[in-house]
Chain A
Amino acid sequence: MKPTDTKDPEYFHKVVDCQYACPAHTPVPEYIRLIAAGRYNDAYMINWQSNVFPGVLGRTCDRPCEPACRRGRVEEEPVAICRLKRVAADNKTDISDRLPAIPTEKNGKKIALIGAGPASLTVARDLMPLGYEIDLYDDQHKGGGFMRSQIPSFRLPESVLDEEVNYILDMGVVTHFKQHVTSMRDMLAKNYDAVFVGTGAPRGRDLPNLPGRQDGDANIHIGIDWLASVAFEHTHKVGKKVLVLGGGNTAMDCCRTAIRLGGEDVRVVVRSPKSDMKASPWEIEDAEHEDIPMYENHNPKAFLTENGRLTGMVFEKVEPVFDDNGKRSLVPTGEEVTMACDDVLMAIGQLNSFPWIERDIGIEFNDWDMPEVDKTTFQTSLPNVFVGGDAAWGPENVITAVAHGHQAAISIDLYCRGESTAQRPAPEVNLVSQKMGFHDWLYDAHISDDERQIVPLIDKQQAIGNRKLEVEKGFDALQGYDEAMRCLNCDVQTVFETDRCIECDACEDICPVDCINFIDNDEEANLRENLKVKATNTDQDLYVSGELKTKRVMVKDENVCLHCGLCAERCPTGAWDMQKFLLHEATAGVKS
């Protein structure tokens, strides 16, 4: 293999598993260390800069960082990254003086944002400090999009959402709430310099052709519409017997909301086996903790009605069968099951819907009737129209919407300055030695043995009695500290300098997880095979040095490196050093 090019920021970035996995590339270990140091405001601002809604995300994030976290490869459980974010948000003091200044003199460019979800709000957050004027349109009465209408208050208190939405609106965004946008043509006629579409995926899937659908209509609800109607206080109760169809996160929110609105026998009914349910494991866990049963392998067949009123549903039982290619199909077993119910909540998927975008105004649509959107620039075929969040490629999550918003803001800024949107600004990177002295590093290199902290919950009966009461209490300061100490500081990189190495093997001998090898160079596949411990995780890179005096090379498998610094500690010549790699994604306004 060729020597690793550590000058390419991509290399070390990939080593910081959590940050790399985060769609917005939040510098996770940096804020975790600040939490350990009790510097909550600093930790909060690092988050705020990257992911805009730390308080919201610290409670609700889909947390792609956690399955990626290195700690999960070394022991059972990853660092509770998401809930640590909440520790920063919960414990911070007033941070308003740290928010960016908004120029009173505007730059003369006006932008329209359609939909007030996290994607649009992020665009606003990034462009307002640059002097843009922004009009924000949404059909709801307040900002936040699905974070407000869909995520139930028992997971996300309204006050937390309001605070973080208002940091942005208070920058001087002109809001046009309770306005459903019905024509893109009209919008374009208002002569905005750019228009951003952040309207989400607002249509819930139905089962229009199932027998009894029309008859039972009064008690058959589209999950997301029903959740919105609960959130906006139009719906206050539900029948005693409720069937929730679907196995995703929406189903979990529906069932948990239903038991809070008077549901006594609430069941989740899924077509697939339970192990294939789409919901995040922790959301399933939360629902089960509230004693909600899940029925797997039940395919809906019909709604049962009596005198025009819903009385139950019929399901056909199926079983998963795998063909030779491992492809699964659900084959009916012939058994039918009837379940009585008063209400049905359908949480079986969401769709995009763009009836309001005329097809003859220059925005190209693809075969799936979705606008053609560039994956990097978020630009449509109409150069001044951009799309991001769930509206771009279908339902995702808040952090993805935020990431889209950042990139769209960069594009809009480039576009408004007359520059090419394809020319993306580079991230800001910094690599600094952590050495202080003998056995002394700027970071805490000691590896904690603690198991993952468990998030404390409020009393279950109390929680179910009030849909607005937040179920999770969040870590207290001590738990937050202990959890923060579980982080392995993956951003503190092991940097190797070939010329200084005398091949004494000290690093190889001391490394507790056998990462380091001195070995004859070869192709990657052979090297992986020949290391002390085979490098089987191909998602993780091999760090290869230049040729050493003995013609061998140093090969380090990054996979389970603990970043303990012992290699650098035991190196007599300083060939190894621990250096902190800090990467901030570029935001709008950074010159490329």
Chain B
Amino acid sequence: MTFIRPNFRHPENHTNEIGYSIKNYEGALSTLCAGCGHDSISAAIIKSCFELNLEPHKIAKISGIGCSSKTPTYFLGKAHGFNSVHGRMPSVTTGANMANRDLLYIGVSGDGDTASIGMGQFAHVVRRNLNMVYLVMNNGCYGLTKGQDSATADKGSAGKKGVPSVFDSIDLCQLALQLGAGMVARSFSGDKQQLVPLIKAAIKHPGFAFIDVISPCVTFNNTPASTKGYEWVRDHLEATGTIDFIPEKSEITIDYPAGSSRQVQLHDGSELVLQKNANDYDLSSRKAAMNRIESVKEAGNILTGLIYHNENQGDTHASINTTQRPLNALTEADLCPGSAVLEQLNAGLR
């Protein structure tokens, strides 16, 4: 009986610009069910970080509880990690981010972890516009506890047990929009062409970037009657447009038909190129985005792709004017300015 990932990799799979191979971005071998959408999302995260030439030790991955929240073990094994408490990923990430703004924060959560027990925390981390990637692996159920309907299960959708959900579902993208997220996107674990550029854009986005990734639970919620199963999702996807991530300084080699594409410049010089589809709308308009989600939903479909993008919202640090340096780098001299300053302060209060 063996279940060990071999150490060999494709000999022609080269290292990235900072000399790391894809192996440096992998984690432990997954213990999730074979075919779980979450594993594909892990693979997309690995690919994104590898291609963006990120240093794994400058990333922190934080999660709550659930099959989805287990995945940080299976990617970026060399990064920092905190597998926290059910629904508490946002507050742990907030604390870490406040203490050290130099790391890249990837928060991984599930639909249960976010839309049920963690709903309060979710609302506030969006509202504060914490600089992080918030990724929900959304399978419409509580996978880890054997598939109970979650708050994102659509009304009428039925999992393995066969009982249709009686409640209306929560659309996390709409919620994020409403609460003021700077970047909102939706994707599907089975579409890495779309997911990888979205993750890259989210990583590059300064401030809160939210991606709701529909990620089928093959074991409990992959029935023909489930709106989160592979088949149904594939048949009902409607993208806002196709998306390419063009890293800083690189030439655009793809030929985009004139008039049909739009470039979105990101703050670090990289670019998102969006191939508009027939129903193009202003991506920086919250109202337009809301409308689009609603009208696609009315037609019985799921809107995917980049839904909303606005880089001009300052993040939490900017709002509360915190120190630029990580707290662990502050010395006594920085923290204790001395009696002369205290005198001055006191004098001002007299």
Interfacial residues, chain A to chain B (CB-CB below 8 A): 73-75, 439-441, 444-447, 449, 502-506, 508-510, 512-515, 533-534, 536, 549-550, 560, 562, 564, 566, 569-573
Q: Which one of A439, A508, A509 contacts B3 once the chains associate, using CB atoms below 8 Å?
A: A439
Say yes or no: B9 contacts A512, CB within 8 Å.
yes
Given A506-B40, A512-B5, A569-B34, 7 more pairs with CB closer than 8 A? A74-B11, A502-B218, A505-B189, A505-B190, A510-B5, A562-B6, A571-B34
Q: Give the total of B residues in contact with A, Cβ under 8 Å.
A: 32
Residue of A nearest to B22 (CB): A514
- A502-B230, A504-B40, A533-B12 are contacts. A449–B190 as well, Cβ < 8 Å? no
Residue-wise, chain B 227-246 has the 8 Å CB interface mask toward A (1 for contact) of: 00011001000000000000
User: Contact at A509–B43, with CB atoms within 8 Å?
Assistant: yes
Q: Which 4 A-B pairs have the closest CB atoms?
A: A572-B35, A447-B6, A509-B43, A446-B2
Q: Would A504 and B35 count as touching, CB distance under 8 A?
A: yes
Q: List 14 A-B contacts (CB under 8 A).
A: A74-B8, A446-B2, A449-B7, A502-B230, A505-B189, A506-B39, A510-B30, A513-B10, A514-B13, A536-B12, A549-B231, A549-B234, A560-B11, A573-B35
Tell me, rounded to whole Å, the shortest Cβ–Cβ distance linking A33 to chain B: 14
Partner of A502, one of B7, B8, B40, B231: B231
**Contact of A513 with B9 at beta-carbon distance under 8 Å, contacts A446-B2, A504-B230, A505-B192 already known:** yes
Q: Cβ of A560 and Cβ of B35 under 8 Å apart? A: no
Q: Does B4 contact A (CB under 8 A)?
A: yes
Whether, in the assembled complex, B36 has its beta carbon less than 8 Å from a beta carbon of chain A, the answer is yes
Majority DSSP secondary structure for residues of B touching A: loop
Instruction: Report the bound CA distance from A571 to B35 in whole Å.
Output: 6
**B1 interface contact, C-beta 8 A:** yes
In the complex, the answer to whether B34 meets A513 with C-beta atoms within 8 Å is no
> Is B87's CB within 8 Å of the partner chain A?
no
Those of B169-220 within 8 Å (CB) of chain A: 189-190, 192, 216, 218
Cβ A439 vs Cβ B2 within 8 A? yes
Query: Complex formed: what's the CA distance from A296 to B184 in Å?
Result: 70
- Chain A neighbourhood of B12, CB < 8 A: 533-534, 536
> In the complex, are the beta carbons of B10 and A533 less than 8 A apart?
yes
What is the CA–CA distance of A572 and B221 in the complex, to the nearest angstrom? 13
Cβ of B252 within 8 Å of any chain A Cβ, yes or no, is no
Tell whether, in the assembled complex, residue B7 and residue A447 are in contact, meaning their CB atoms are under 8 Å apart. yes
B33 at the interface (CB under 8 A from A): yes
Contact between B2 and A572 (Cβ–Cβ < 8 Å)? no
Q: Which of A447, A504, A508, A509 contacts B218 (CB 8 A)?
A: A504
Dominant secondary structure of chain A at its interface with chain B: loop
- B190-A572 in contact (CB<8A): no
CB of B37 closer than 8 Å to a CB of A: yes
Neighbouring A residues of B43 by C-beta, 8 Å:
505, 508-509
B39 touches A510 (CB 8 A): yes
In the complex, the chain B residue whose C-beta lies closest to that of A436 is B1
Cα(A533)–Cα(B231), bound, Å: 28
Interface string of B1-31 (1 = CB under 8 A from A): 1111111111111000000000000000010
A504 touches B5 (CB 8 A): no
Query: How far does the Cβ of A485 sit from chain B's closest Cβ, in whole Å?
Result: 12
- Which residues of chain A have C-beta atoms less than 8 A from B42's C-beta? 509
Which residues of B are found within 8 Å of A533, using beta-carbon distances? 10, 12-13
Give chain B nearest CB distance to A555 CB in angstroms.
15
* Smallest CB separation, B322 vs chain A (Å): 38
> Assuming the A-B contacts A504-B190, A536-B12, are A566 and B37 also in contact, with contact meaning beta carbons closer than 8 angstroms in the complex?
no
Contacts of B189 in A (CB 8 A): 504-505
Contacts of A446 in B (CB 8 A): 2, 4, 6
Closest to A572 in B: B35
| Contact of A504 with B216 in the complex, beta carbons under 8 Å | yes
Give Cα A508 to B35, complex, Å. Answer: 11
- A440 CA / B3 CA spacing, docked (Å): 8
Which listed residue, A73, A564, A572, touches B6 by the CB 8 Å rule? A564
CA distance A506 to B234 in the complex (A): 16
Within the complex, which residue of B1, B192, B218 is in contact with A572, where a contact is CB–CB below 8 Å?
Answer: B218
Q: Is the CB of A504 within 8 A of B2?
A: no
The reply to whether A566 and B190 form a contact with Cβ atoms under 8 Å apart is no
Q: Which residues of B contact A573 (CB under 8 A)?
A: 35
Select the residue from A509, A562, A573 with max chain B CB neighbours within 10 A: A509
Select A506's contact among B9, B35, B192, beta carbons within 8 Å: B35
Minimum CB–CB distance for B47 against chain A, Å: 10
Closest residue of chain B to A437, judged by CB? B1
CA distance A566 to B33 in the complex (A): 13
- Given A512-B8, A560-B10: A439 touches B1 (CB 8 Å cut-off): yes
- A566 to B190 CA separation, bound complex (whole angstroms): 19
How far is it, in angstroms, between the C-alpha of A81 and the C-alpha of B81 when the chains are bound? 45
Q: Mark B110-133, 1 if CB is under 8 A from A, else 0.
A: 000000000000000000000000
Option from B13, B35, B37, B216 in Cβ contact (under 8 Å) with A570: B35
Which A residues touch B35, using CB under 8 A? 502, 504, 506, 570-573
Q: How far is the CA of A514 from the CA of B9 in the complex (A)?
A: 8
- Of chain A, the residue at the smallest CB distance from B42 is A509
- B5 contacts across to A, CB distance below 8 A: 510, 512, 564, 566
Q: Which residues of B contact A515 (CB under 8 A)?
A: 10
* Measured CA separation A569–B34 after assembly (Å): 7
* Smallest Cβ-Cβ distance to A444: which chain B residue: B2
- Contact status A569-B3, CB under 8 Å: yes
Cβ distance A531 to chain B, nearest Cβ, rounded Å: 10
Closest B residue to A73 by beta carbon equals B11
Residue of A nearest to B234 (CB): A550
Q: How far is the CB of B27 from chain A (nearest CB, A)?
A: 12
A448 CB to nearest chain B CB (Å): 9
A504 contacts B37, C-beta separation under 8 Å: yes
Give chain B residues whose Cβ lies under 8 Å from the Cβ of A536: 12
Cα–Cα, bound, A212→B187 (Å): 85
Could you tell me the distance between the alpha carbons of A445 and B3 in the complex, rounded to whole angstroms? Answer: 8
| B15 → A minimal CB distance (Å) | 13
Query: Contact at B2–A513, with CB atoms within 8 Å?
Result: no
Residues of A within 8 A of B11 (CB): 73-74, 560
Question: Once the chains bind, are B40 and A509 in contact (CB under 8 Å)?
Answer: yes
Q: How far is the CA of A44 from the CA of B346 in the complex (A)?
A: 94
Nearest chain B residue, comparing its CB with the CB of A506? B35
Query: Distance in Å from the Cβ of B198 to the closest Cβ of chain A?
Result: 16
Output the residue of A439, A441, A506 with the most chain B CB within 10 A.
Answer: A506
Residue of A nearest to B12 (CB): A533
Q: How far is the CA of A139 from the CA of B292 in the complex (A)?
A: 93
Which residues does chain B contribute within 8 Å of A562, judged by CB atoms? 6, 8
Q: Output the least CB separation between A582 and chain B (Å).
A: 22
- Quote the shortest CB–CB distance from B291 to chain A (angstroms): 29
A444 to B5, CA, bound (A): 13
For residues 46 through 62 of chain B, which have their beta carbon under 8 Å from a beta carbon of chain A? none
Of A74, A502, A503, A534, most B-chain CB atoms within 10 Å: A502
Q: Which residue of A lies closest to B4 (CB)?
A: A446
Inter-chain CA distance A207–B36, complex, in Å, is: 73
Docked complex Cα distance between A45 and B5 (Å): 34
Q: Given A504-B218, A509-B40, A549-B231 in contact, is the A570-B34 Cβ separation under 8 Å?
A: yes
Distance in Å from the Cβ of B28 to the closest Cβ of chain A?
13
State which of A75, A508, A572 has its C-beta within 8 Å of the C-beta of B34: A572
Q: List A contacts of B7 (CB < 8 A).
A: 447, 449, 512
Q: Which residue of B lies closest to A562 (CB)?
A: B6
Evaluate contact between B216 and A75: CB separation under 8 angstroms: no
Tell me the nearest residue of chain B to A536, going by C-beta. Answer: B12
Assess the B190–A506 pair: CB atoms within 8 A. no
When distances are taken between beta carbons in the complex, the residues of chain B under 8 Å from A441 are 2
- In the complex, what distance in Å separates the CA atom of A449 from the CA atom of B9? 12
Measured between C-beta atoms, what is the minimum distance from A27 to chain B in Å?
A: 23
Please, which residues of chain A bring their CB within 8 A of the CB of B37?
A: 504
What is the chain B residue whose CB lies nearest that of A513? B10
Given contacts A504-B218, A549-B231, A572-B33, contact A513 B8 (CB under 8 A): yes
A506 to chain B, nearest CB (A): 5
In the docked arrangement, what's the CA distance between A91 and B40, Å? 48
- Docked Cα-Cα span, A571 to B33, in Å, equals 9
